[in-house]
Structure 1
Amino acid sequence: MSLSMLKGVWHYRGFIFGSVRREFESRYRGSLLGAAWTVLNPLAMIVVYTVIFSEVMRARLPGVDDKLAYSVFLCSGLLTWGLFSEVVSRCLTMFLDNANLLKKLSFPRICLPVVSACSSLVNFAIIFGLFCGFLLITGRLPGVALLAFPMLVALQLLFAIGLGMLLGLLNVFFRDVGQIFGIALQFWFWFTPIVYPLSILPEQIRRFVQLNPLSALIEAYQNLFLYGRWPQWSSLLPLLIVSGVLCMMALALFRARSGEMVDEL
């Protein structure tokens, strides 16, 4: 991101914070449970997956004789996947959803992906806080290794914003992009080691799954919360490179097509 874009984001920080607050409030306005739905929806998904894979299928982690271990493993992957998919999905439609705003107001367009990321982070922070409470109660809260968590989240956001912004720009000109990505996201989930550890896969399939840029990141989260291990930063280098390339491509396309984008909305 260029210096001028950073200055624009900082200058319009009030607009960004206000947009995040309004979006959070409007999402649950008129609802009896209000913001509790932020917790109930992912909690329901986690309970379903935990019951199916941990109880019905008797799934266990190789070499770990602990009934709660799989729940921690599963939650670590599901919560962080939820952050990634929400950021990308928001960025995918951010220009279309804010068409009237883009046509009527003059502000740095780069603020929109920042708003999308911040809104997703607010939801994630609530759910992650409950997860940490569970880890604390069960005596599983990681020690010093927890300091690596913000760096993992920053890397994940860099990848999600770069990919989401690129897809969001393409979606303005080619509306099928949103539909195609919705299908691709479902396949992507199952080709990411979230509900299963990589170690149980056959060698050929394991190599294929490891090509997934999110595989190393999800493993880093799982090892952090399940075993209290520091991430292997060398394994995350490919994701960092891919994230940088995606961000540069998105910014280049944004500069080239920002004028035409408003006409297409």
Structure 2
Amino acid sequence: MVKSIWYYRQFICSCIKREFLSRYKGSVLGVVWSIVQPLAMIVVYTVIFSEIMRAKLVGMDNDGLAYSIYLCSGVLTWDFFTATVMACTNVFLVNGNLMKKISFPRICLPVISVGSAFLNFCISYGLFFIALLVLGRFPFDLIIFVVPILFVQIIFACSFGIGLGVLNVFFRDVGQLLGVVLQFWFWFTPIVYPSKIIPEKLLAFMNFNPMYYVVRSYQEIFVYNQVPDFVELSGVLFIGFLLGVWSLRLYRRHVGEMVDEL
């Protein structure tokens, strides 16, 4: 599989570029919208929650920007997760005609979808980094720890999404149900609210939410200037590998049937 992806790397990169540019084709500003949209979100969250609502984090009452940074780091992380999962879930349906007409390793399609989502994530987080630099809140000593967290997040999201993508070919309700699940999952993850306000009885349920550890790891770096707990993240990575094994076995078993079903 890895050899196939590497052999078709130019095809993958060209598809990612074409998909990114086609998203803004026909608009006056073009790819500038990829900068304007996340920048607008960061500015709105900062102005509304820091200046207008005066929202504060528990234990950080004297820090007017803490909640905005907390919210931005969580929302941007969640957006990348949902974009990755949704893209992988729909990738075989969306590219059904391509799978029938062109002979190439089908596993390249999820890689293209993830690459496109990752490109948007890099733009959004790049603007977030610039905002942190302007505000004097950039965690220079801890920024390197973002890399392993991102690796864990991508493994988990891809493994989860590819398995759902195979199932979605045969059971179209999977894609519809996923949208509902992700809505509940978002509010079950401490992104808008801090985990410190969750009652102890409910806090135990967070142990079953892998994205809780991923989002919290980013927040620990950008908000609390702390090294994330990689022991907890290793559990998410283990779940991601298990899902990956399941997804690849499911894909290899049904890849021939998928083409006929599409």
> Which SS does the other structure have where 1:60 is aligned?
coil
Distance in structure 1 (CA, Å) of the matches to 2:242 and 2:98: 29
Residue matched to 2:75 = 78
| Aligned pair partner of 1:146 in 129, 143, 146 | 143
Question: Partners of 1:224 and 1:122 in 2: how far apart?
Answer: 22
User: Counterparts in 2 of 1:65-214, with a 5 A limit?
Assistant: 65-214=62-211
Post-superposition Cα deviations, 1:9-54, rounded to whole Å, max 9, x if no partner, equal 0000011001001001111111112123223334444555556655
Distance 1:191 1:51, change over 3 A: farther
Contact 1:46 1:78 (8 Å CA) reproduced: no
Gaps of 5+ in 2: none
Distance 2:126 2:252 in 1: 38
* Aligned residues with identical type, % of pairs: 52
Name whichever of 57-66 and 176-185 sits farther off.
Answer: 57-66
Flag structure 1 segments of 5+ consecutive residues without an equivalent: none
3-state DSSP of counterpart to 2:55: coil
Alignment partners' CA distance in 2, 1:132 and 1:56: 23
Per-residue Cα deviation, 1:140-164 (whole angstroms, up to 9, x for no partner)? 1112211111111111000010011
- Larger mean CA deviation between 214-223 and 52-61 belongs to 52-61
Distance across 2 between alignment mates of 1:205 and 1:44: 34
What is the root-mean-square deviation of aligned Cα atoms in Å?
Answer: 1.6
- Say whether 1:61 aligns with 2:61: no
- Cα distance in 2 between the residues matched to 1:188 and 1:44: 25
Instruction: Name which of 32, 35, 48 aligns with 1:36.
Output: 32
Which amino acid counterpart does residue 131 of structure 2 have in structure 1? F
Q: Which residue of 2 aligns with 1:9?
A: 5
Q: 2:238 aligns with which of 238, 241, 264?
A: 241
Aligned residue pairs total: 261
| Residues 210 and 55 (structure 1), Cα distance of their counterparts in 2 relative to 1, 3 Å cut | farther
TM-superposed CA distance for 1:170, in Å, is 0.4
**In the alignment, residue 129 of structure 2 is paired with which amino acid?**
C
Q: TM-score, normalised by structure 2?
A: 0.95
| Further displaced range: 38-47 or 6-15 | 38-47
Q: Which residue of 1 aligns with 2:14?
A: 18
